[in-house]
Every structure is written in structure tokens, then in C-alpha cells.
Amino acid sequence: MSQLTSQRTDEEAKQVLVASVHDVRYLAMLLRGINFSNRASVILSASGGITVAVEEARTLLATSYIYPEHFDEWDCNPDIHHAPSSQSSELSKDAHSATSAFEIPLNTLIECLNIFGTAGISSASAGTKYKKWKRAEDGSDHDGDDGDRPNRQRPGANVPLHNRIDHYFGGGEKRTSMNMSYAGPGYPLTLLLAEDSTGPTTTCEITTFDSEPNIELPFDADQLVLKIIFKSSSWLRDALSELDPSCDKLTFIANPAADVRRGPRLGRAQEKPLFRIQASGTFGSTEMDYPNDREVLETFECAHPLTVSYRFGHISRTLRALQSSTKTSLRIEEEGLLSLQFLVPVPKPRGGLSNSFIEFRCLALDEETS
């Protein structure tokens, strides 16, 4: 019996990764946010957690960051198979920076996490009404569903519904717990899944592949031209959701706030927009303007007038990430490279929230950026 225990301990010691989580829904949510390409590059880091990246057409790069604090258990030793024991002291010094990389079919991983049908977004969220664009003639921000019921009678009423991450999952649902392990290059990613301690368990072994480099899209903060933080992701999500899917091109138009304020009082067609989203396609074009309102744009910084276009099909890939995020950062550098960062709160195992991120970077169309 002692030999069996010793053998099991040795096997665990050779693992590059051993991690567990009591509820896989949030992990699945972070993966779904970038699930538009099946080939996913995974990087494991002792201090950085799991980084999953996918790309499309050498133009769009999406990355999901899953940090160690999101797990109940986290033990990662990326260099365990790459150095002799004589270098163990040096490894311990550099363990925080070591990484292990492989590729995995993302669809398969997500399907495994949802093998008991408990890792999906609840259908209850599909019919939820989000805060819409407020018209000048509207007198209230409320949609009227709550009637005259005071906020103090609703638990969590001081937190907007679209900013509560639990809103995306139904209450009282069963949850799937998971133990994840990876023994190194050539080995599968192994998931041990259980719906509860007394129910059935399932072991999934997902084939891993040698990692190939993704496209590199470094964002130069020194060349930043436009920076916007949407107070709620719904302001961008609703705008993109209402656009005609047949649109070919999406254009962002921005002007410094000072220029907009100094502009003459002309008709709307001649006004300089603070920030405008313009979608164009075969059947015409659509324009949506954002007001200079901190309830909408928490931060707005524009160095000079900017007009830059992207393929609509690439920008629409962000809708899944927008659905599960609470805040969105939009940045554009001088050459037109777009960075969209989505803040996704994830509950910590011991209480509280830990912020995670999903980031999209997209190259501008081959047009003159002005």
C-alpha cells in the first residue's frame, strides 16, 4: 500500500499542471469569449495562470487570461521536464517566469466542461432586458419591469443587473467541479469532472499538439491616439448587436472633446461627433453616436481627430466576450491597431471577486487612417 501511495505521489510530482475548481462555469465562460477558432494556443505559467489565444486571418488575435486565484487548487511547474535535477536551485528562482505551451482543440475543451450540461450560460439570461439607449424625451432610466417596487427591497439593487456576473447563470443550478492535470509535451490534458460528490464522474483526455507561434500584434501605448472606457459593456454590446450582420466594414470616428465643444452649432449632419460607430454594407450604412456623458463613457481621451475602419466580421467576434463582461476598454494606436479589453469578474474560491480579462487585437483595413 505504501508503494502504491509512493508511486501516486511520484506521478503527481511529475505533473506540469494540477489544478481544481469547484464550478467550471466561469472557466467555460472565459473560453467561450474567444471561441471563434478551434485551434487554441495554451500557455501555462506558475504565476500567470493559463493564457489561451486564438487568431483569425492573421488579422485578429483574441486572448483569455485565467489567473491562479480563480482555482481552488493551483500547482504549476512548467520546467519540470526541461532541466536536470542539478539545476533545481536555479529553476526555483526562475519558476515564476517559466512557461509551458501547447495547442488544443478549443471546441472539445468547452464541450468537455459542459459534459453534464451545467457549464452553459443559463437560458434565463437570454430574455433579460438590458438598459437601452436613453432618448431625450425619456424621463427615467428604468424599463418599468419593477413597477413601483423600491430598490431597497431587491437584494443587490445597488449593483446594475448587467454588472453582476451571477446574472449570466441561473440560481440554484447544479454545478460541475473539475480537476485538471497535464503531464507535459506529448501527454493529453486530463479533466476529471463530477457534478457532485456522490454522483458519477467522467474523465476526459484531450489530445494536445506542439504549439505554433501566433501572430504578434504588440500594442504601443506611446502611440496611443484614442482611449475609451465604457462604464458598462452593454453600451457597446447593444450597439454591435443591432447592426446588420451583412455589413462589411465598421468605422470608428472620434474627435477630441475640446474640438466638439468649440464647434459651431450646426445641423446634426455637420456636427463633429465625439465618438461615432459607422457600419456600412451592400444595403446602406448605419451611424451611432455616443454622448459626452460619464454614465456612458467613463473615460474618453482622443489625441487628434481619428477615422479608422475594420472588417465588421472581425469586430463582431467580440460579442460573446461583451456578453459576459462588465466594462470595456477600447484603445487605438497611431497605425490603427485596435485593442479591446473586456473586464470579467470571477468569484474567488474563498469569497470575493477577482478580475479576469479577455482581449482582442485587430489590424485596421488597408485604408488610409486619418
Rounded CA separation 365/370 (Å)? 12
- Please provide residue 233's backbone torsions phi and psi, each rounded to the nearest 5 degrees: -65, -20
* Closest CA relative to residue 308, chosen from 238, 234, 221, 366: 366
Rounded CA separation 287/269 (Å)? 11
Tens-level pLDDT at each residue, the chain (370 residues): 444 444 445 555 589 999 999 999 999 999 999 999 999 999 999 999 999 999 999 999 999 999 999 999 999 999 766 544 444 444 444 545 688 999 999 999 999 999 999 887 653 343 334 344 444 444 444 444 444 433 434 444 444 444 444 443 444 567 899 999 999 999 999 999 998 777 789 999 999 999 998 899 999 999 999 999 999 999 999 999 999 989 999 999 999 998 886 555 545 555 789 999 999 988 889 999 999 999 999 999 999 999 999 999 999 999 999 999 999 999 999 999 999 999 999 988 877 888 999 999 999 998 656 6
Give the number of C-alpha atoms closer than 13 A to the C-alpha of residue 30, restricted to the C-beta side.
25
pLDDT of residue 29: 96
pLDDT of residue 223: 95
Contact 272, 335 (CB under 8 A): no
Tell me the fold of 221-362: Proliferating Cell Nuclear Antigen (3.70.10)
Domain ranges across the chain: 2-122+170-206, 221-362
Kindly give, in sequence order, each residue whose CB lies less than 8 Å from that of residue 364, ignoring residues fewer than 6 positions away.
Answer: 308, 309, 310, 335, 336, 337, 338
Contact 326, 163 (CB under 8 A): yes
Kindly give, in sequence order, each residue whose CB lies less than 8 Å from that of residue 221, ignoring residues fewer than 6 positions away.
Answer: 333
Rounded CA separation 334/125 (Å)? 38
Helices (H) and strands (E) in the chain, counts: 8, 18
Contact 277, 247 (CB under 8 A): no
Contact 328, 347 (CB under 8 A): no
pLDDT of residue 272: 86
Rounded CA separation 329/235 (Å)? 12
Tell me the fold of 2-122+170-206: Proliferating Cell Nuclear Antigen (3.70.10)
pLDDT of residue 98: 83
pLDDT of residue 337: 98
pLDDT of residue 156: 41
